[in-house]
Amino acid sequence: MAYAPSRLMQVVLIGLLLAALGVVGLWAWWSWGGTGSPLRADAGDAEMVALGRQVYAAQCASCHGPTLAGEPDWRTRNPDGTLPAPPHDETGHTWHHPDQQLFDITKYGVERFAPPGYRSNMPAFEDVLSDREIWAVLAFIKSRWPDETRRVQEARNSNR
């Protein structure tokens, strides 16, 4: 005797399938930051690193230096209370932060995440760079770090 599924059973199965697809879709959306861009900058992606090198040269090097060395005496406040641009190489503190935090600071500016009254010369790039360009700059920066620095910073990403 052949089993014929009832109409209710068909509706339930279709509902479960749609729910499962929804969960997978939400997971994918969350994994990519809800923006269509990855949550991490991939220093191993040659295309992203190349784009990041170009964008960094055009948008970041004037303050952070062409070799990522930052401005001299970057830990001492300027007369206006701001800090000089820090290095993005392994001598700075960029690698102390997870990718998402670096992305957010770059996109929205330092002051959005700093305590009240904190002043920074770092502009927000929300209206200047696409998300992909910001991730690419971060990939380029990370590609210049020694392997051990990258490993330590990558561990910070897994703790997000």
17-31 burial string, b = 16+ CB within 10 Å, else e? eeeeeeeeeeeeeee
- The secondary structure element, H or E, covering residue 154 is helix 147-158
Domain boundaries, the chain: 7-36, 38-158
What's the pLDDT at 24? 59
Number of alpha carbons in the 13 Å side-chain half-sphere of residue 147: 0
Q: pTM for the complete prediction? A: 0.75
CATH superfamily of 38-158: Cytochrome c-like domain (1.10.760.10)
Return per-residue pLDDT of the chain as tens, 160 residues: 556 668 787 777 776 666 666 665 555 555 554 555 555 699 999 999 999 999 999 999 999 999 999 999 999 999 999 999 999 999 999 999 999 999 999 999 999 999 998 999 999 999 999 999 999 999 999 999 999 999 999 998 876 5
Beta-sheet strands, E only, within the chain: none
**What are the two backbone dihedrals, phi and then psi, of residue 7, each rounded to the nearest 5 degrees?**
-60, -40
In order of 2, 15, 41, 102, the CA distances from 5 in angstroms are 10, 15, 49, 53
Number of Cβ within 10 Å of residue 72's Cβ equals 8
Torsion angle (degrees, nearest 10) of CA 48, 94, 28, 47: 0
Beta-carbon contacts of 136 under 8 Å, excluding residues fewer than 6 positions away, are: 41, 48, 49, 51, 52, 55
Cβ-contact 89, 69 below 8 angstroms: yes
Question: Sign of the C-alpha dihedral, residues 55, 131, 102, 136?
Answer: negative
